[in-house]
Amino acid sequence: MLRTTSLKRLFRLREDGEDTKNTLSLRCSVLSHESVAVNAKERATRVLQELQNTFSLPTWVGSPREPFKTLIRTVLSQATADRNTDRAFRRLATRFSITPEALAKADVEEIEEAIRVAGLYRNKSRVIRNLSRMILDQFDGSIAFIHSLPLKEARNRLMSLPGVGAKTADVVLLFYAGKPVIPADTHVKGVSERLGLVFSEGSYEGIREALQSLYLPQDYLAVHLLLISLGRKYCKARKPLCKSCPVNTLCPSIQIGDGLVFS
């Protein structure tokens, strides 16, 4: 549905003769909202098809038999570049066995030293030790419950752990329990907004649920991974490579040179 206030402002800009760039920008915004409302489902299907033709599914770092390692790696990834996340995890694994037992006993200072390359390393070191202790005390040293419990209950249990929010829980649930959920990380959120699949005003939960409503559960893993691939290679946060993007004909936010062109 078009926003009445946006339409009124668009007509006022035309009447007042304000510069073309402002008028075009607002017109694009209005058209974008209309496009989202009418074509999101169709666009979502076509976007997935194009991405499947363009990218191979990346190999997930970790082992499906060891979800605790993925939990720790995902904690390390918060506000941290992928390369530094990998370095921090490797250094931590060199110093400690990545198990709840080993990390629950570790000195916070030693964990800090191992993961220093990761952002917010002091806070993360405390989180890692505390969640390891909680897993030992309350879950018998294992998060295997993610396989047997219903999605909502498994998600709530994971989110009861220190430092584990919705995104971290969703990553573990999708990759290692095969639960029907799409983690809406930074790449997924940004790319989905630009593609007009979700509105930028949405919360994490709103964006996750909106994306899930557009796709079949069996496609959630591919959707998550392929949107990340698109964000890393083409739909970059600061300078998107719209001309060469494989889904530019489906994107209501395409930027060509200094202008905006909407499909």
Is residue 36 over pLDDT 50?
Answer: no
Question: Domain end: 177, 210, 227, which one?
Answer: 177
Number of domains in the chain: 2
Q: Which residues pair with 233 in a beta bridge?
A: none
pTM: 0.78
Q: Which of 165, 125, 127, 158 is nearest to 143 (CA)?
A: 158
Residue 201: CATH number of its domain:
1.10.1670.10
pLDDT at residue 257, as a whole number: 52
Flag whether pLDDT at 1 surpasses 80. Answer: no
What would the pLDDT profile of 57-107 be if each residue is shown by its tens digit? 866 544 455 889 989 999 999 889 889 999 999 999 999 999 999 999 999
- 40 versus 69: the higher-pLDDT residue is 69
CA–CA distance, 32 with 35 (Å, rounded to integer): 5
More confidently predicted of 218 and 64: 218
Parent domain of 234: 4-54+184-260
Q: What integer pLDDT is reported at residue 206 of this predicted model?
A: 93
User: pLDDT tens digits for 154-183?
Assistant: 999 999 999 999 999 999 999 889 999 999
Shared-domain flag, residues 166 and 87: yes
Residue 13 placed within a domain: yes
- Alpha carbon separation from 66 to 58, 106, 146 (Å, rounded): 19, 20, 12
How much is the mean pLDDT over the chain? Answer: 83
* pLDDT 10s digits, 115-145: 999 989 999 999 999 999 999 999 999 999 9
141 compared with 9, residue with greater pLDDT: 141
Q: Could you tell me if residue 254 is inside a domain?
A: yes
Percent of the chain with pLDDT over 90: 67
| Separation of alpha carbons 106 and 103, rounded Å | 5
CATH code of the domain in which 156 resides: 1.10.340.30
Domain stop point among 177, 209, 224: 177
**Predicted pLDDT of residue 90:** 95
- What pLDDT, on the 0 to 100 scale, is given for residue 187? 87
Last residue of a domain, one of 177, 209, 242: 177
